[in-house]
Structure 1
């Protein structure tokens, strides 16, 4: 029983065989998924997929790479969609200093606006971080994001920042990189994060875990992530799965939606 907390089944890479990919995930024991929409194209499809499956949910937000494209109408649209019964979080949002499409000040402004929206409607948030950890933590602290809590999606930094994230009521989510042979940081993080604040994800179709690295990722591969984390923590896959699924259900407030 696994919960893929971050998957892009709404990506173009799944246009041809989305239903088969979802079927494979269910057969592999992935019982729940959250499909993340992050722009005008992917948000409606995330909700559409969630509507088709009882245990698939959606998150809606605006990606920092495209921050320069977001209008006030888009923010109002996200707020409107947040009332949908299958929408469980706002995001992914954050900062991305790897790509230079959107200036940093624009990214920060869009990030702050989404945090404030999440607080207004009392919904947790999902954070995208690429090469921007210190600025992200500073903004989360300044905006008091602790009020709603969140997920550090595909956490990709050292263990040094983990405690600051935990102190802000955030969960740490790990994906494919924890299985990469030379990736020491996610392996250390996988051991250090308290079990009750740990989540698993694929970020499919990106970041496929070993031995599928470089290929299209899919949600069934979250089993490989769980197996590696269980091995690193020296616990059973069953214990890891049970706890991360419980954490995800609590974070996304699924039991309150029943």
Structure 2
């Protein structure tokens, strides 16, 4: 765990620069295989202090752990079996023991993303549920937080999570649902992470409304880029003008010079934070400070 003095030092530093923590960048993706050092340097220069790299299979969880050892105290890994990949554990049950070993590593700070995805049928719902619960039991035994992936499956996800009240913290990753769905999660005390998806959200009941109405408390919010996905298109026609003008030139420079729809990077996170701040009618410093503090506290990231 970060001790209080280190945490306070980091927080003071946040007032000088917009310092943010990316709680989800898929840096094991092959799109970064040639220039990861440059990607990491740009993230650091942009103010991204720490990056959590999620594992979504046994293989990528192992690779995420490897990256955390190449970039110690900057990259932290998670160990997850994504719902889409659930059937692989059923087909090769011996791989679960490898997964447990990865999850136990101190650099691995959370279990997941795990959960249910009914939008696509890569794995049968019953198989998804079985492997989801297996990961929740592991999270309880290791006392590690859980990252939840949920698409069109909220009722079942909530029903299963209620069976595991001992989980230390639950984070709903890359939330893309409605305000009503968000409230169900918030009522359970869960945290919600947001991505550049808010540039795409055109609904009257979704992520933007959640921020504009103050429905999502700042201390329940985390931020992530979901790189290389979820490029924050700040030129989107539906993005309100006050949000566009709330993005600093410095953040736009990193975003437009280094990120594309084909490959987003962690250096886009300050722009996402500034957009969230505009929607919430708060300063970027407030959002950066609160989300960084929450990430440090929740995942025990050392400073």
TM-score normalized with structure 2 length = 0.80
Greater RCO, CA 8 A, separation 6+ = 2
1:19 lines up with 2:42 in the alignment: no
Question: How do 1:48-197 residues align onto structure 2 when only pairs under 5 Å count?
Answer: 48-53=66-71, 54-70=73-89, 71-144=92-165, 147-180=167-200, 182-184=202-204, 185-190=206-211, 191-197=214-220
Stretches of structure 2 that go unaligned for 5 or more consecutive residues are 1-18, 235-258
Partner of 2:231: 208
TM-score normalized with structure 1 length = 0.93
Partner of 1:223: 270
Give the distance between the partners of 1:240 and 1:24, measured in 2 at CA. 21
Give the distance between the partners of 2:136 and 2:188, measured in 1 at CA. 13
Give the distance between the partners of 2:64 and 2:70, measured in 1 at CA. 10
Structure 1 range deviating more: 99-108 or 129-138:
129-138
Deviations 1:33-69 (A, max 9, x none): 1000111331121011111222210001101001111
Give the distance between the partners of 2:140 and 2:189, measured in 1 at CA. 13
Give the distance between the partners of 1:78 and 1:150, measured in 2 at CA. 20
SS at match of 1:251: helix
RMSD of equivalent CA atoms: 1.7
Paired positions, count: 255
Is the contact between residue 75 and residue 114 of structure 1 (CA under 8 Å) also seen in structure 2? no
1:232 lines up with 2:232 in the alignment: no
Q: 1:156 to 1:181 in 2, by over 3 A?
A: closer
Give the distance between the partners of 1:104 and 1:243, measured in 2 at CA. 36
Stretches of structure 1 that go unaligned for 5 or more consecutive residues are none
SS at match of 1:163: helix
Structure 1 range deviating more: 189-198 or 54-63:
189-198
Give the distance between the partners of 2:112 and 2:48, measured in 1 at CA. 22
Is the contact between residue 55 and residue 78 of structure 2 (CA under 8 Å) also seen in structure 1? yes
Deviations 1:164-190 (A, max 9, x none): 323433211000111236254111223
Give the distance between the partners of 1:253 and 1:170, measured in 2 at CA. 17
SS at match of 1:161: helix
